[in-house]
Amino acid sequence: MVAAQRKKKSDSTERCWLVERTFDDRNLVTIVYATPDGSRYHQRERSATSLREGSTVTAAADIDPDELEAVTDEETRARYAAEVERIASTHDPDDAV
């Protein structure tokens, strides 16, 4: 699945994989996608209602590189890379998770 981890939708996007999903007491869900090496991430917040009624969260997303932030903590980078490997080995990019 390594090729799928590196696959890009186009030259202008980076394939990122779901590495984290957290819920808070305001009914918001924070979704984090990271690059295969765990060095960059993209974070989205959505309401729990929109997740139930709107588009699903997929195993991967193609993110504009300008929307990616650097992961500065080595422990987080390693955790994200391990989670990318796990999710990419068990899901296709468009799988709802």
At 55 the pLDDT is 79
Is the pLDDT at 4 greater than 60? The verdict is: no
At 11 the pLDDT is 66
Task: For the sheet with 14-23, list strands across it.
Answer: 60-63, 14-23, 28-34, 40-47, 69-70
**Domain range list for the chain:** 2-90
Is the pLDDT at 5 greater than 70? The verdict is: no
At 96 the pLDDT is 93
pLDDT tens digits, 11-65? 699 999 999 999 998 889 999 999 999 999 999 999 888 878 877 899 999 999 9
Return phi, psi of residue 20, to 5°.
-160, 140
Is the pLDDT at 88 greater than 90? The verdict is: yes
Question: Distance of alpha carbon 16 from its chain centroid, rounded?
Answer: 5
Q: What is the full DSSP assignment across 72-86?
A: --HHHHHHHHHHHHH
Q: How many CB atoms lie within 10 A of CB 62?
A: 15
